[in-house]
Amino acid sequence: MFSQSVEGQPGSSNYHLNRYTNYSTSTTVNPFTQVGAVYFVTDRLAVEAFSQSIAFPFSFGGFNLGLSLLTGGTAYNPAVTQEVSPQTERGHWVLSGSFRVAGNQQGSSQDVGTAGSGSNSYSSDSRASVFTTAPSVGVFIRNNRLLGVAIPVSFQKSRVINRSGIAVAEESETSIGVQPYLKQYAGTRRLRPFVEGHVGYRQGTLRRDNTGQGLPSFRIDQRSIEVGGSAGLAYMLRERFIVEATLGSAAATRFTNAPQQADPENRKAEGWTLTVTATLQPAFSLVYIFR
214 three-class SS: coil
CA 112 – CA 114 distance, rounded (Å)? 7
Q: Which residues pair with 132 in a beta bridge?
A: 100, 154
Sites in the chain below the pLDDT cut of 70 = 1-23, 26-27, 41, 45, 54-62, 66-67, 73-84, 108-124, 162-167, 211-214, 261-267, 281
What pLDDT is recorded for position 81? 44
Looking at residue 67, what is its pLDDT?
A: 65
Helix (H, G, I), strand (E, B) or coil at 86: helix
For residue 78, what pLDDT is reported?
44
Q: State the pLDDT at residue 140.
A: 96
pLDDT recorded at residue 174 = 96
| Whether the predicted model's global pTM rises above the 0.85 cut | no
What is the tens place of the pLDDT at every residue in 191-203? 889 999 999 999 9
CA distances from 225 to 55, 97, 178 (A): 37, 20, 10
Interatomic CA distance for residues 188 and 183, integer angstroms:
15
Judge whether 131 and 100 are in contact, CB under 8 Å. Answer: yes
